[in-house]
Amino acid sequence: MTLPTTLTRAQKAAAILVAMGKPAASRLLKFFKQEELKALIEGARLLKTIPQSELERIVAEFEAEFTEGAGLLDSADKMDKIMNESLSPEEMSAIMGESKPVVVAEGPSPVWSELEKVEPARLGAFLAAEHPQMAALILSKLAPAAAAAVLLVLEKPLRVDIVRRMMSMTAIPDTATRIVEKQLRDRVLSDRSAKDMSAGQSRVASLLNEMDKSQLEEVMQDLEATGTPALDGIRARLFAFEDVVHLTQKARVLLFDGLSTEIVTLCLRGAAPELTEAVLSSIGARSRRMIESELAQGGEDIAAADIAGARRTVASTAIRMSLEGALELPAVRDAA
């Protein structure tokens, strides 16, 4: 069946969801209302084949509308759905207006004055691990001086993203505000969270390990300038591809066993001999021969960005496995 000349909004949405693939689309579908799902299904039935040029036009149209702002915080029914990662299903239902509002106890006085007393570096570490929309909501409730102090300890791209979201933010439902206050009281202001920041440190370290080395060092220097007491805990969780040589042989075998030969070959382009041998000694003989053959053919036409990306994949995989308890990372980062 050919593509209709004019697509409805439901058909465009269906096209984007299909292009996203089942895993990503499945996570989004649960946020649609029953009548919206029905419209999507009916629209999808009319879409058999979509030319690549038409799909790109639809995606570009979506991006343009999203950039202009869809009023995610205009009402409880349009609250930023990304917040579901931090909130319970019942709380999200209250925000999204999909069920009777959750009755949230008023509790003590608003947390914002208490939050302004939290060390900027500590609050910044918490916000860096959250979605930027949540961070924008929180900072919009603080006094300008306190919010500015927190922004200064954040990575520059994240800082810009948060400020942009704060500028486009309009009315915030009271129900959503009370839920966020409860989250902050439990996760930031409680005695337990004040004493044990290991979970937050792990999240921030995972975020930093996705950056280039120069970007990572800049953020660490900014945090160090604030005198944050959590810096050593974060540094201990940082891991770069070059740190592979400090892993035990068993840990290296576990790490590279789950990585493709393409990733391993890419990350070894231009690597030091000691590092190359540490990696190759951790994989099977057949895979080693294949990789050595590829490396011997040269790779002058391979982009440096691809090599850096492969190395970040190795590092992020090691971090994930350490958080899962599969292996232990060495404390090899220089504190200087």
C-alpha to C-alpha distance for 294 and 106, rounded to whole angstroms:
64
Map tokens 């999203």 to a residue: 66
Distances (CA, A) of 79 to 84, 96, 127, 132, 168: 10, 6, 18, 13, 13
Sorted by sequence, the CB contacts under 8 Å of residue 199 that are 6+ apart come out as none
C-alpha to C-alpha distance for 235 and 202, rounded to whole angstroms:
10
In CATH, what class is 241-323?
mainly alpha
Within the chain, all domains assigned CATH 1.10.220.30 are found at 72-237, 241-323
pTM for the full predicted model = 0.39
CATH number of 72-237: 1.10.220.30
pLDDT in tens, the chain (336 residues): 444 457 777 778 777 777 776 666 666 666 666 677 677 777 776 666 677 777 778 777 776 665 544 433 333 333 344 444 445 555 545 544 444 444 444 444 578 888 888 888 888 888 988 888 888 899 999 988 888 888 988 888 899 899 988 888 877 777 778 888 888 888 888 754 444 455 666 677 777 777 776 787 888 888 788 776 667 667 767 788 888 999 999 999 999 998 999 999 999 999 999 999 999 999 999 999 999 999 988 777 888 889 988 998 898 888 888 877 888 877 544 433
Q: How many helices (H) and strands (E) does the chain have?
A: 20, 0
3-state SS assignment for residue 118: coil
